[in-house]
Amino acid sequence: MVKIMGNEAKLALEDGTVLKGEAFGYETVTVGELAFSTGMSGYTEALTDPSFKGQILMSTYPLEGNYGVSEDWYQSDKVQVEGFVVREACKKLSNFGTKKTLDDFLKEFKVPGIEDIDTRDLTLKIREKGSLKAALATEEIDDDELVARAQEHKSIVDLDLVPLVSTPEVKTFGDFDKTVAIIDCGVKKNIINCFLENGVGVALFPYNTDYQTILDYGVNGLMVSPGPGNPERLTDTIANVEKLINKFPVFGICMGQHVIAKAFGATTYKMKFGHRGANQPVKDLQSGKVFITSQNHGFAIDPDSLKGTDLELTQINLNDGTPEGFAHKELPLRTIQYHPESGPGPNDTRDLFEEFGKLIKEY
């Protein structure tokens, strides 16, 4: 393929819409589900978040790249998104501590970007119509062919994305008396760091690790991590978690909440456009407190499907009433839908790692 003259780029949607802008990042054609995020900062963390695998990320904030990119902010070892859509990509850095531009960053990991897009208008379109499959081109391609690629791409409901981001082998972090097993559906580095900061070592297991292997490792607690895509696809993970939930303290974040809830017989559904950003209000039903949280998910649990189980709803989203947390009536088990590790986002709920660490040490 030949690069479009004048650095033109195109974004095509499955409904036939074709938007033209300016290319940055890598020269290629990519497909994915177009998802918007409302975060005002943290683009490096978002782009490297494994939960965005399979999606073309669009920022509602109008300027991205102004403070550059640092490897210290990576949440995984590479860019995970399929493409990046922005209103404006800043060309000059305004941070003495970074040397890499957003353009350099995307080129390094062979990910395309498009700017000069009316992202707020496109966000309103998604909010009205729901999530849309999209194709992004920074190389020459016919409009009709680009639209066809978007239309022919599999729905994220039917994709197996977790195997693409999970660790291929067991990895350990920290040298402490107590260790938590993390089933890696797409863990973020900040989650691992939060456990280490609270004196708990981490044993990271592939998403489909047999439950007996985890028991034989001699861990003191279990956490099921966040991750991308449809929880219905993780049948092996759900089956193994079902056998582990009564062995030691258990904690689930985002995809982890879905997996654990499904181990109790719950059902999940795809949301119209999901929750992605760092400003989602969550109310704790027991204390009445409201926390501002960072979130990144496109599926939710049907609360009615948990009636008759031993899980109780503990937190809700104040924007749409969707479940944000569950706890077991008897077992030391709780789950949350949001990201307490931040990266990016507020630290309102970071103490959950301290609480779970104490539970592991005392259990």
Q: How confident is the model at residue 4 (pLDDT cuts 50, 70, 90)?
A: very low
DSSP 170: -
Output the pLDDT for position 96: 87
Per the prediction, the chain carries an average pLDDT of 96
Catalytic residue check, 139: no
CA distance 345 to 41: 8
* Model confidence pLDDT, tens digit, residues 140-188: 999 999 999 999 999 999 999 999 999 999 999 999 999 999 999 999 9
**For residue 243, what are its two tokens?**
């056998």
SS3 48: coil
Output the pLDDT for position 3: 43
Residue 6 above 70 pLDDT? no
Q: How confident is the model at residue 234 (pLDDT cuts 50, 70, 90)?
A: very high
8 Å CB contact between 221 and 199: no
Residue type, 278: A
User: Which one of the listed residues 258, 275, 328, 339 is annotated catalytic?
Assistant: 339
* Model confidence pLDDT, tens digit, residues 71-110: 999 999 999 999 999 999 999 888 988 989 999 999 999 9
* Model confidence pLDDT, tens digit, residues 102-124: 999 999 999 999 999 999 999 99
**In percent, how much of the chain has pLDDT > 90?**
93
- CB count in 10 Å sphere of residue 59: 26
Mean pLDDT value across residues 250-267: 97
User: Which one of the listed residues 254, 275, 297, 324 is annotated catalytic?
Assistant: 254
Residue type, 190: N
Residue 14 above 80 pLDDT? yes
Catalytic residue check, 339: yes
**pTM for the whole thing?**
0.95
Q: How confident is the model at residue 357 (pLDDT cuts 50, 70, 90)?
A: very high
CA distance 49 to 254: 13
Residue type, 342: S
Output the pLDDT for position 5: 38
Closest CA to 228 of 275, 308, 159, 176: 159
- Listing DSSP states for 257-300 in one string gives HHHHHHHTT--EEEEEEEEEEEEEEEEETTT--EEEEEEEEEEE
Catalytic residue check, 197: no
8 Å CB contact between 220 and 43: no
SS3 195: helix
Output the pLDDT for position 331: 97
Q: How confident is the model at residue 343 (pLDDT cuts 50, 70, 90)?
A: confident
Output the pLDDT for position 123: 97
User: Which one of the listed residues 14, 64, 115, 341 is annotated catalytic?
Assistant: 341
Q: How confident is the model at residue 230 (pLDDT cuts 50, 70, 90)?
A: very high
